Amino acid sequence: MRLLEKAPAKINLSLDVLHKRPDGFHEVKMIMTTIDLADRIELSERKDGQITILSHNRYVPDDNRNLAYQAAALLKERFNVKQGVSIGITKVIPVAAGLAGGSSDAAATLRGLNRLWKLGLTLDELAEIGAEIGSDVSFCVYGGTALATGRGEIVQHIPAPPHSWIVLAKPTIGVSTAEVYNNLDLSKVEHPDVEGMLAAIHENDYEKMIGLVGNVLESVTLRLYPEVAHIKEQMKKFGADAVLMSGSGPTVFGIIQYDSRMHRICNGLRGFCDQVFAVRILGERNSLD
């Protein structure tokens, strides 16, 4: 048997870090939403009990460093599954980009293997298992839009943000999440208004939403990688309504209401940036909702 799962990317509309915890992780408060840019995960049964990864992407590990491999190994061990699985990953989400590509691949593998191996687990149970793989995996198990707290694994669902285009631009560099958190100086950051963003989304208020985007991790990544600041400036100059870095970066996203402006911004960015995408937020509401 063979089955397919989509693994969508996420962006963080608001990302605050409250403090560093004794376990080394940081306590976060962030609003995440899935976008229509997805890897494809193909799961095929193996009778020999092995787990294999095939991705045809030189930046993606094909062994137990791959988060999809870790997801399969965890389920196999926890539920004493005898079968194995071949995991084919068609990468669309840029790697080490702040878009949770690896986390979403792991989450899709959990959802897919739950079906393939007939484990009968709920999404809540899969999300709990996902937290053992990485902080973003729990959110990715559900997708949609959510307020995430704790180290990111406590997920509270909220409505989708107002109707808009998301333009993504990824500079050629990759960024290490651990490096960004390690260089964060919380005495120097400006905290975003996460509660205000929550209210804007609940009220489906586009103007309010674009005025409230914020990410404390920008303070680190923009300093370490000036090309990210350059892309932010260009996206603003081309006319995006709001511009923010996603996660630990380096991908920058712009929020735009009108198609014509979205095209203008994409054309402008493609002049100097290889990876530019225009996507919708998954499950978005239209402006009349």
Ligand X SMILES: C[C@](O)(CO)[C@H](O)COP(=O)(O)OP(=O)(O)OC[C@H]1O[C@@H](n2ccc(N)nc2=O)[C@H](O)[C@@H]1O
Ligand Y SMILES: Nc1ncnc2c1ncn2[C@@H]1O[C@H](COP(=O)(O)OP(=O)(O)OP(=O)(O)O)[C@@H](O)[C@H]1O
Asked whether residue 18 is marked as a ligand-binding residue, the answer is no
98 near ligand Y, rule: CB under 6 A = yes
Among the listed residues 16, 105, 136, 241, the single catalytic one is 136
- Within residues 190-229, the interface with ligand Y by CB under 6 A covers none
Rounded distance, CA 147 to CA 131, Å?
15
136 is catalytic: yes
H-helix segments, the chain: 67-78, 101-116, 123-130, 137-142, 177-182, 194-202, 206-211, 218-224, 226-237, 259-270
Q: Which of 93, 98, 97, 92 is nearest to 12 (CA)?
A: 98
CB atoms within 10 A of CB 65: 11
Q: Which of 187, 201, 241, 162 is nearest to 14 (CA)?
A: 201
Q: Which is nearer to ligand X, 43 or 67 (CB)?
A: 67
One residue of 100, 148, 166, 212 binding ligand Y per CB under 6 A: 100
- Minimum CB distance to ligand Y, residue 97 (Å): 5
CA 250: distance to chain centroid? 12
- Within residues 59-98, the interface with ligand X by CB under 6 A covers none
101 near ligand Y, rule: CB under 6 A = yes
Amino acid letter for position 117: W
247 near ligand X, rule: CB under 6 A = yes
- Within residues 171-200, the interface with ligand X by CB under 6 A covers 177-178, 181
One residue of 55, 248, 262, 281 binding ligand X per CB under 6 A: 248
52 near ligand Y, rule: CB under 6 A = no
- Within residues 133-172, the interface with ligand Y by CB under 6 A covers 136
Amino acid letter for position 104: S
- Please state, in angstroms and as integers, the Cα–Cα distance from residue 216 to each residue in 4, 146, 211, 220, 246, following that order: 36, 18, 15, 8, 10
One residue of 14, 55, 103, 109 binding ligand X per CB under 6 A: 103
- Minimum CB distance to ligand X, residue 104 (Å): 10
What are the structure tokens assigned to 63, written together?
């062994």
What are the structure tokens assigned to 224, written together?
């370490």
- Minimum CB distance to ligand Y, residue 64 (Å): 10
- Minimum CB distance to ligand Y, residue 150 (Å): 15
Q: Which of 100, 111, 109 is nearest to 153 (CA)?
A: 100
65 near ligand Y, rule: CB under 6 A = yes
188 is catalytic: no
Q: Which residues are annotated as a binding site for ATP?
A: 94-104
Interface residues with ligand Y (CB under 6 A)? 60-61, 65-68, 89, 95-103, 105, 136, 174, 177, 247-248
